[in-house]
């Protein structure tokens, strides 16, 4: 069986400074690489890249992107951050793209969850800004559940994501946003 490093390189395409991941990606654009074992879940390619070039990722830390390209695995475009940095980074990227108005829209989309038409009629999701909002919200939902699983309290998550504790628990218990893994 080939090593992770040996399987990593053929999937990287260096272009314009970024190292694009040419193999599989998850729903929010992160590159995926098989862990090697038969039962193992795929690993995130940018985290693998960090470990290859910079060493082990300290427990609980996230590998974040300096570039706005989730499939990029260039270690020079990556940095380590806490859960808090991670969420701030997501919010900042959303805000930088569309300004404050954008952030407000994201909050509303997040709060409405399943009632949002796009969940039951995905074909109606328009391109452009609304599509971007939906993607940002999915990223938040995934992060929120990840953080809940790693032991963060409901009320802390509510504060961090600026929604009510009730809404946070509905999302984490998959009563909202069921379609998001």
Contact residues for Zn ion, defined by CB under 5 A: 18, 67, 69, 72, 74, 77
Supply the minimum distance, in Å, between the C-beta of residue 16 and Zn ion. 8
Query: How far, CA to CA in Å, does 93 sit from each of 40, 45, 70, 162, 174?
Result: 31, 21, 12, 16, 26
- Spatial separation of the C-alpha atoms in residues 77 and 170, rounded to whole Å: 35
Please return the burial class of 87, using the count of CB atoms within 10 Å of its CB with bins 0-12, 13-18 and 19+.
buried
> Max Cα separation, the chain?
51
What φ, ψ does residue 62 adopt, rounded to 5°?
A: -105, 150
Supply the minimum distance, in Å, between the C-beta of residue 21 and Zn ion. 10
Q: Judged by CB, which is closer to Zn ion: 49, or 69?
A: 69
Supply the minimum distance, in Å, between the C-beta of residue 71 and Zn ion. 9
Supply the minimum distance, in Å, between the C-beta of residue 20 and Zn ion. 8
Q: Closest by alpha carbon to 95, among 84, 82, 104, 85?
A: 104
Other C-beta atoms lying within 10 Å of the C-beta of residue 174? 13
Q: Judged by CB, which is closer to Zn ion: 92, or 153?
A: 92
Instruction: With beta carbons less than 8 A apart as the criterion, state whether 32 and 42 touch.
Output: yes
Q: Judged by CB, which is closer to Zn ion: 65, or 145?
A: 65
Supply the minimum distance, in Å, between the C-beta of residue 69 and Zn ion. 5
Q: Judged by CB, which is closer to Zn ion: 14, or 162?
A: 14
Q: Judged by CB, which is closer to Zn ion: 42, or 75?
A: 75
């Amino acid at each position: 069986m080939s090593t992770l490093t040996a399987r990593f390189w053929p999937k990287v395409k260096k272009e314009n400074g970024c190292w694009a991941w040419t193999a599989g990606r998850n729903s929010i654009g992160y590159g995926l690489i098989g862990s090697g074992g038969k039962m193992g879940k795929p690993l995130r390619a940018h985290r693998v890249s960090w470990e290859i070039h910079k060493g082990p990722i300290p427990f609980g830390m996230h590998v974040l992107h300096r570039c706005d390209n989730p499939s990029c695995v260039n270690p020079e475009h990556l940095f380590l951050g806490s859960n808090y940095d991670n969420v701030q980074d997501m919010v900042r990227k959303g805000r930088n793209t569309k300004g404050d108005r954008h952030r407000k829209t994201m909050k509303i989309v997040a709060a409405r969850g399943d009632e949002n038409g796009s969940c039951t009629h995905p074909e109606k999701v328009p391109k452009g800004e609304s599509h971007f909002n939906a993607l940002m919200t999915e990223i938040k939902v995934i992060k929120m559940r990840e953080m809940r699983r790693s032991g963060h309290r409901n009320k802390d998550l509510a504060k961090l994501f600026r929604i009510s504790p009730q809404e946070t628990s509905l999302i984490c218990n998959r009563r909202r946003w069921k379609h998001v893994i």
